[in-house]
């Protein structure tokens, strides 16, 4: 079975670990979000690609869900001693090596897709990991920063890099707009459209629908290829009981005018794209609403408490795909 998965960071990576356990013989291609990528200290950092690579390759810091296990921060401390930041983004020594190799290869002229393949030679994630594009796309978030010296609402309006919004500001101010800068001009990376065309099933894991899956779909050609693939497209809700399972998805959903509920996210993707949607059992009451929108829906446990739980979710997603295929 050939499976294509559109993945963000932690949620996508943990779901993939379950999917691999559920169907060990499947041929899995992961299209990774690169809108979170950031240039720091002259290096290209790809948080979502690395989170998938480290998680599936056994090198992830399990508690955090990002970065390396057994990490130290000497380099960051030395940089800080020179007054060189940003201090708010935690890059560890082991992780730095990945960014150095990546940046060196990019500088030598290799595209990001080839660099990712080379990095995966070491980590052997057991899936084919392809960035959504080789072109530069950076998600920016429009915010109004509170101005402590004046009346509320009169602060400075500016666009910040997604990582600054997520990590430095901890999504503490409303996201007024989310813009994947460069996406309109980007082309799908080599292999992306081919994998979609050859897939037996396409899965949207419980990743952020705006800044992860949404950014991948913003690359011209990818949404259309998925909608026209003629195979079941199944998503898993990242919202359980009207709150994100992890992260701050509600903040960026508000920016695109979508309420933070499992059915609203399904409707946001729409029946033109999505054939099936899994919601958590606590949201069983919304199954009818999702089906009324033309999307087959089932309520199953969606908390990825461990790899077995993620594997059960993956099996449910594939079972729903078979139901869709049978109609
Ligand atoms: N997330 C944090 O909350 N704080 C950090 O300092 C941080 C550093 C970091 C370094 C490398 C990396 O691959 C990921 C990192 N993340 C960090 C996670 C990341 O910011 C986001 O969770 C993802 O981009 C969202 O998918």
Report how many domains make up the chain: 1
- Smallest CA separation from ligand 1 atom 16, residue: 66
Low-confidence residues of the chain: pLDDT under 50: none
What is the token pair recorded at 173? 């101010």
Phi, psi of 159 (to 5 degrees): -100, 130
Note the pLDDT of residue 246.
76
Note the pLDDT of residue 152.
53
- What's the CA-to-centroid distance between 47 and ligand 1, angstroms? 6
Note the pLDDT of residue 149.
59
220 found inside a domain? yes
Note the pLDDT of residue 248.
81
49 found inside a domain? no
327 found inside a domain? yes
Phi, psi of 319 (to 5 degrees): -65, -40
Range of the domain at 308: 1-39+135-327
Q: What is d(CA 81, CA 165) in angstroms, rounded to the nearest whole number? A: 25
78 found inside a domain? no
48 found inside a domain? no
Q: What is the CATH number of the domain that holds 266?
A: 3.40.50.10680
The DSSP secondary structure of 195-228, one letter per residue, reads HHHH-SEEEE-S--TTTTHHHHHTSTTHHHHHHT
Note the pLDDT of residue 154.
63
111 found inside a domain? no
Note the pLDDT of residue 94.
98
Our CA angle for 148, 258, 34, nearest 5°, is 80
Note the pLDDT of residue 148.
64
Note the pLDDT of residue 247.
73
**Pocket, ligand 1, Cβ cutoff 6 A:** 8-9, 36, 45, 47-48, 50-51, 66-67, 89-91, 95, 163, 166-167
203 found inside a domain? yes
Q: What is the pLDDT of residues 216-274, one digit of tens each?
A: 999 999 999 999 999 999 999 999 998 778 778 888 999 999 999 999 999 999 999 99
- The response to whether 27 counts as a known ligand-binding position is no
316 found inside a domain? yes
Note the pLDDT of residue 287.
98
Note the pLDDT of residue 155.
83
């Amino acid at each position: 079975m050939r499976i294509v998965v559109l993945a963000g960071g932690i949620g996508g990576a943990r779901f993939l670990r379950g999917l691999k356990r559920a169907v060990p013989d499947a041929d899995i291609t992961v299209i990774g979000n690169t809108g979170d990528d950031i240039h720091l200290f002259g290096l290209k950092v790809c948080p979502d690609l690395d989170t998938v690579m480290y998680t599936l390759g056994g090198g992830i810091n399990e508690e955090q869900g990002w970065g390396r296990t057994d990490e130290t921060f000497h380099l960051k401390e030395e940089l800080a001693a020179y007054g060189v930041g940003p201090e708010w983004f935690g890059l560890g020594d082991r992780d730095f090596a990945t960014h150095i190799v990546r940046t060196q290869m990019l500088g030598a002229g290799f595209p990001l897709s080839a660099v990712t393949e080379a990095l995966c030679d070491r980590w052997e994630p057991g899936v084919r990991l392809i960035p959504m594009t080789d072109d530069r796309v950076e998600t920016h978030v429009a915010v109004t920063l509170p101005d402590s010296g004046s009346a509320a609402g009169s602060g400075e309006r500016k666009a910040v890099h997604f990582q600054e919004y997520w990590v430095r500001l901890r999504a503490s101010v409303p996201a007024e707009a989310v813009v994947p800068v460069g996406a309109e001009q980007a082309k799908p990376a080599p292999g992306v459209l081919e994998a979609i065309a050859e897939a037996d099933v396409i899965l949207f894991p419980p990743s952020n629908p705006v800044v992860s899956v949404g950014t991948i779909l913003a690359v011209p050609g990818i949404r259309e290829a998925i909608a026209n693939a003629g195979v079941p497209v199944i998503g898993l809700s990242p919202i359980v009981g009207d709150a994100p399972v992890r992260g701050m998805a509600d903040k960026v959903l508000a920016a695109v005018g979508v309420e933070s509920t499992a059915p609203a996210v399904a409707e946001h993707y729409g029946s033109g794209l999505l054939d099936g949607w899994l919601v958590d059992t606590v949201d069983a009451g919304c199954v009818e609403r999702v089906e009324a929108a033309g999307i087959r829906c089932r309520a199953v446990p969606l908390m990825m408490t461990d790899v077995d739980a993620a594997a059960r979710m993956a099996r449910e997603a594939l079972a729903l795909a078979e139901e869709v295929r049978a109609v």
